[in-house]
């Protein structure tokens, strides 16, 4: 009994520094932001309290809803792109083969390259006049498929999503790879003896065994998609004419570019709210299945 | 028993670590608070003053090199003053400036813009009034260039260069190919030339509007003046005119017309302004409309410079503005943060006197940059003929730049509306209406 009590105290004290730092740089600013969201303030002159005005204005702004829609596109394409692709890559690389370390490094590379580089590279690939994408299509005689990838509003958001998937799927690959390597060898041997091979083994044995990891990856992918900023900001700046604007860019443009800090704070509160709602939904779905 | 002792030890160690961290953090914040005074003795021996300076001189431009050389020369001559530079890319500069201003964290010396962009800094008392120092510059700098940095009778900054934002650079060979040996003088001829260039499979205008300011600043400042007259923008701010007035809508409609003629390169919204310059310099387009600063890059430093001519936007049918005027703005005002310690303020003023003087204007002129001076700073034959041509072109008075008159929020709304027109969304009326609504929302 005493021992347990002592351990708890030790854990508490051990975590205290990290906790203090976390509260200081993550929790307190959220409340500060909440406070500012009730003001009309340019950051320099005096604040004036406006109650829920900022929230009402945001809800009536069609650009905000466009940014929400774009976030949902990023979220959905991210989920159906990153998770299966990450899993596929992990399954391929989990086997004993020559050069697997090399391929793992290559797969993980986009995750560690800075977003600025990723954006610039994809910006060049997508360029409508000299870009690699159109050149490639032209090379294969698919001229009619050539597009203004980032300028054509009907597809620009999907072009951004593709770059986003490419940038992040290596991360999920590594997460899944770690989970796969934790599956005991006996399980696979037993499965093989029972005649479960190939895809059958993947779906019946492997995936159920790393189910909790997949769920964590799904939650991570969703909350990540609400935070996407740098890639889009550099690739398109949210343009043309708001067509690729996501919620973080909406918030940034109002708070920092047109200097409405109160309004921007209100937008950031909504980002927090939206991601909390979606993540808790996913968590609940995951838990129900487990029972 | 032994175990418990171990745990106690861990707990004690944790407390100690926490305390150490906490005190270290406090110590740091104290240091930061005392920073202004302390850095003077810490930085490098006795009496050294360290000043911070934020500027947007990062891209490879003729004027940026001159500015940076001047800072280096100051440091060499004043070993007791150190300038810590914070160079921020031009596209992000204003955002960083105002974010730092909001946290009362401006650098000691800052580069600022005139007019609507200076207002918030002045209303927050963030800049040092320079009134009693102006004897250093009154003889050198033109009054009209100082005026933009003057608020309520106080002078807050001194400009270092004169810019015009709406110079049309054109490829003479391409124009003569379609039958124009001189640049079109009227709007109808200009549109005719664009159609002929298009028919000859040439891109008429290279545009890099990803950062969104080019259409607003370089195109619409002039177009507004050509259609609606010199005072229109000020009248809108004063409530005597509206963006929805017919003349302004006609001006916006030019962007719509150019889009429908496919006058711009197809990747205009994904390219930045520097990439669009490259496009033009590589002769992939017949025209490029941008600031006078680029004159050095396109014509003076370019071995093929003589291929390119310069012009102003032609007269428009029924227009109320003088077609000889360009849209001008004095730029890169140097300002000092208010509330510095005596020691730092004296050093900053010392720097400013050295930095903004006749020699700087001379060096800029030699590099092909226009300066807002009443003196003849360049000696005989020292002025590059390309610069002389530009000075002549812009010598017939100037009209004001859109976002130096119109506050930031409506300007940003307008930029987005213009970008929408280039992807064939919305109408000029919509753009005018939304811009007016954004301006009204400020009141």
Asked if B58 is an interface residue toward chain A (Cβ–Cβ < 8 A), one would say no
Q: Which contiguous run of DSSP H or E holds residue A62?
A: helix A62-93
Token pair 């500069």 is at which residue?
B93
pLDDT number for residue A67? 94
For chain B positions 329-368, those within 8 Å of chain A (CB to CB) are none
Q: How many CA atoms lie within 13 A of B317 on its CB side?
A: 7
Residues of chain A with C-beta less than 8 angstroms from the C-beta of B419: 239-241
pLDDT for B304 beyond 80: yes
**Average pLDDT of the residues of chain B:** 87
Mean pLDDT for the stretch of residues B298-317: 92
Separation of alpha carbons A18 and A27, rounded Å: 13
Contact B423 A151 (CB under 8 A): yes
pLDDT number for residue B380? 59
Sign of CA dihedral B101, B107, B111, B114: positive
Separation of alpha carbons B163 and B4, rounded Å: 75
Structure tokens at B372: 């807002």
Residues of chain B with C-beta less than 8 angstroms from the C-beta of A123: 270
Nearest CB among B101, B102, B270 relative to A151 is that of B270
In chain A, the residue whose alpha carbon lies closest to the alpha carbon of B92 is A257
CA distances from B370 to A33, A178, B112, B298 (A): 45, 62, 18, 15
State the maximum Cα–Cα separation within chain B, in Å, rounded to a whole number. Answer: 101
SS3 B193: helix
In chain A, the residue whose alpha carbon lies closest to the alpha carbon of B94 is A257
In chain B, the residue whose alpha carbon lies closest to the alpha carbon of A154 is B423
Asked if B10 is an interface residue toward chain A (Cβ–Cβ < 8 A), one would say yes
What is the helix, strand, coil percentage profile of chain B, to 5? 55, 15, 35
What are the pLDDT digits (tens) for B364-418? 888 888 888 887 776 656 778 898 899 899 988 889 999 889 988 899 999 999 9
Model pTM greater than 0.80?
yes
In chain B, the residue whose alpha carbon lies closest to the alpha carbon of A242 is B416
What ipTM describes this predicted complex? 0.81
In chain B, the residue whose alpha carbon lies closest to the alpha carbon of A57 is B441
Nearest CB among B3, B17, B270 relative to A236 is that of B270
Distance of CA B190 to the CA centre of its chain: 28
- C-alpha closest to that of B289 among B190, B388, B369, B414: B190
Asked if B431 is an interface residue toward chain A (Cβ–Cβ < 8 A), one would say no
Asked if B269 is an interface residue toward chain A (Cβ–Cβ < 8 A), one would say yes
Give yes or no for a contact between B86 and B119, defined as CB atoms under 8 angstroms apart. no
pLDDT number for residue B173? 94
What are the pLDDT digits (tens) for B257-266? 999 999 999 8
Mutate to test the interface with A, among B97, B123, B206, B270 (most CBs of A within 10 A): B270
Other Cβ atoms less than 10 A from the Cβ of B23: the count is 10
pLDDT number for residue B127? 94
The distance of A56 to chain B (nearest Cα, Å) reads 14
CA distances from B213 to B91, B220, B262, B328 (A): 9, 10, 20, 15
Residues of chain B with C-beta less than 8 angstroms from the C-beta of A45: 120, 123-124
Contact B7 A6 (CB under 8 A): yes
Q: How is residue B269 annotated by DSSP?
A: G
Query: Which residues, 6+ apart, have CB-to-CB distance to B305 below 8 Å?
Result: B298, B299, B386
Separation of alpha carbons A133 and A125, rounded Å: 5
pLDDT for B41 beyond 70: no
Residues of chain A with C-beta less than 8 angstroms from the C-beta of B22: 20
The distance of A190 to chain B (nearest Cα, Å) reads 42
> Mutual orientation of helices A115-126 and A156-181 as an angle, nearest 10°?
130
Contact B11 A13 (CB under 8 A): yes
Nearest CB among A2, A153, A257 relative to B4 is that of A2
Query: Which residues, 6+ apart, have CB-to-CB distance to B23 below 8 Å?
Result: none
Contact B210 A237 (CB under 8 A): yes
Tell me the Ramachandran region of residue B229: left when phi exceeds 0, alpha when psi lies from -120 to 50, beta otherwise.
left
In chain B, the residue whose alpha carbon lies closest to the alpha carbon of A149 is B267
Asked if A275 is an interface residue toward chain B (Cβ–Cβ < 8 A), one would say no
Residues of chain A with C-beta less than 8 angstroms from the C-beta of B268: 151
The distance of B266 to chain A (nearest Cα, Å) reads 7
Contact A127 B422 (CB under 8 A): no
For residue B9, name the pLDDT band (cuts at 50, 70, 90): low
Asked if A243 is an interface residue toward chain B (Cβ–Cβ < 8 A), one would say yes
Structure tokens at B82: 């150190």
Give yes or no for a contact between B184 and A211, defined as CB atoms under 8 angstroms apart. no
Of residues B440 and A186, more confidence is placed in B440
Nearest CB among A3, A17, A260 relative to B18 is that of A17
Mean pLDDT for the stretch of residues B143-153: 90
Separation of alpha carbons A68 and A48, rounded Å: 28
Give yes or no for a contact between B172 and B308, defined as CB atoms under 8 angstroms apart. yes
pLDDT along chain A (291 residues), means of 10: 72 92 93 93 84 92 93 94 92 82 85 89 88 89 86 90 92 92 84 79 85 90 90 88 92 89 93 89 73 45
What are the pLDDT digits (tens) for B184-202? 999 999 999 999 999 999 9
pLDDT for B18 beyond 70: no
Mean pLDDT for the stretch of residues B93-103: 90
Asked if B211 is an interface residue toward chain A (Cβ–Cβ < 8 A), one would say yes
Question: Which of A279-288, B78-87, B102-111, B202-211 shows the lowest mean pLDDT across its residues?
Answer: A279-288
The distance of A41 to chain B (nearest Cα, Å) reads 10
Give yes or no for a contact between A218 and A289, defined as CB atoms under 8 angstroms apart. no
Nearest CB among A20, A127, A153 relative to B270 is that of A127
Residues of chain A with C-beta less than 8 angstroms from the C-beta of B409: 258-260
């Amino acid at each position: 009994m005493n021992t347990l009590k002592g351990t708890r105290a030790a854990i508490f004290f051990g975590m205290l520094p990290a906790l203090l730092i976390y509260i200081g740089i993550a929790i307190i600013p959220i409340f500060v932001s909440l406070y500012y969201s009730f003001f009309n303030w340019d950051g320099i002159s005096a604040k004036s309290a406006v109650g829920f005005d900022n929230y009402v204005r945001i809800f009536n702004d069609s650009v905000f809803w466009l940014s929400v829609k774009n976030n949902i596109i990023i979220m959905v394409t991210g989920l159906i792109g990153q998770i299966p692709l990450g899993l596929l890559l992990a399954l391929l690389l989990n086997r004993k083969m020559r050069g697997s370390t090399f391929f793992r490094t290559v797969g993980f590379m986009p995750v560690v390259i800075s977003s600025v580089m990723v954006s610039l590279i994809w910006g060049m690939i997508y360029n409508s006049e000299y870009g690699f994408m159109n050149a490639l299509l032209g090379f294969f005689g698919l001229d009619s498929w050539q597009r203004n990838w980032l300028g054509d509003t009907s597809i620009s958001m999907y072009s951004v999503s593709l770059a986003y998937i490419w940038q992040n799927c290596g991360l999920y690959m590594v997460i899944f790879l770690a989970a796969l390597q934790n599956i005991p060898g006996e399980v696979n041997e037993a499965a093989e003896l029972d005649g479960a091979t190939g895809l059958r083994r993947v779906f019946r044995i492997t995936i159920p065994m790393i189910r909790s990891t997949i769920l964590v990856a799904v939650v991570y992918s969703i909350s990540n998609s609400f935070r996407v900023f740098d890639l889009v900001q550099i690739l398109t700046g949210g343009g043309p004419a708001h067509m690729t604007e996501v919620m973080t860019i909406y918030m940034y443009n109002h708070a920092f570019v047109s200097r409405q800090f109160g309004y921007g704070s209100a937008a950031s509160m909504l980002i927090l709210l939206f991601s909390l709602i979606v993540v808790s939904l996913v968590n609940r779905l995951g838990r129900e299945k487990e029972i | 028993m032994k175990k418990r002792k171990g745990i106690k030890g861990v707990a004690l160690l944790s407390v100690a670590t926490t305390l150490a961290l906490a005190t270290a953090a406090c110590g740091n914040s104290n240091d930061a608070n005392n920073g202004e005074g302390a850095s003077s003795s810490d930085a490098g021996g006795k009496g050294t003053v360290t000043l911070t300076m934020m500027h947007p001189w990062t891209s490879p431009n003729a004027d940026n090199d001159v500015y940076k050389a001047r800072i280096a020369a100051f440091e060499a001559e004043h070993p007791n003053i150190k300038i810590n530079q914070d160079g921020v890319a031009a596209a992000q500069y204003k955002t960083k400036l105002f974010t730092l201003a909001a946290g009362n964290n401006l650098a000691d010396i800052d580069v600022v813009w005139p007019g609507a962009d200076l207002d918030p800094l002045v209303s927050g008392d963030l800049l040092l009034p320079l009134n009693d120092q102006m004897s250093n510059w009154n003889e050198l700098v033109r009054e009209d260039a100082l005026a933009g940095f003057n608020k309520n009778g106080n002078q807050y900054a001194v400009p270092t260069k004169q810019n015009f934002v709406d110079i049309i650079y054109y490829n003479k060979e391409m124009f003569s190919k379609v039958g124009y040996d001189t640049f079109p003088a009227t709007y109808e001829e200009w549109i005719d030339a664009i159609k002929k260039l298009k028919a000859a499979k040439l891109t008429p205008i290279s545009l890099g509007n990803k950062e969104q300011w080019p259409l607003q600043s370089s195109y619409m400042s002039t177009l507004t003046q050509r259609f609606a007259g010199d005072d229109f923008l000020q009248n809108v701010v004063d409530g005597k005119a509206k963006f929805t007035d017919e003349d302004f809508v006609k001006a916006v409609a030019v962007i719509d017309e150019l889009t429908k003629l496919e006058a711009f390169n197809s990747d205009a919204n994904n390219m930045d302004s520097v990439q669009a310059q490259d496009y033009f310099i590589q002769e992939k387009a017949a025209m490029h409309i941008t600031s006078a600063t680029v004159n050095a890059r396109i014509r003076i430093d370019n071995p093929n410079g003589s291929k390119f001519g310069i012009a102003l936007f032609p007269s428009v049918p029924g227009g109320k503005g003088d077609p000889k005027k360009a849209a001008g703005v004095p730029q890169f005002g140097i300002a000092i943060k208010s509330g510095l310690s005596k020691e730092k303020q004296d050093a900053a003023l010392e720097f400013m006197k050295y930095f903004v003087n006749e020699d700087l204007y001379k060096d800029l002129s030699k590099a092909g940059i226009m300066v807002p001076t009443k003196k003849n700073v360049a000696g005989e034959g020292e002025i590059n003929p390309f610069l002389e041509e530009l000075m002549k072109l812009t010598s017939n008075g100037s009209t004001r730049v859109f976002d130096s008159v119109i506050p930031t929020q409506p300007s940003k709304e307008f930029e987005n509306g213009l970008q929408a027109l280039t992807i064939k969304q919305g109408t000029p009326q919509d753009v005018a209406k939304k811009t007016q609504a954004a301006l009204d929302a400020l009141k």
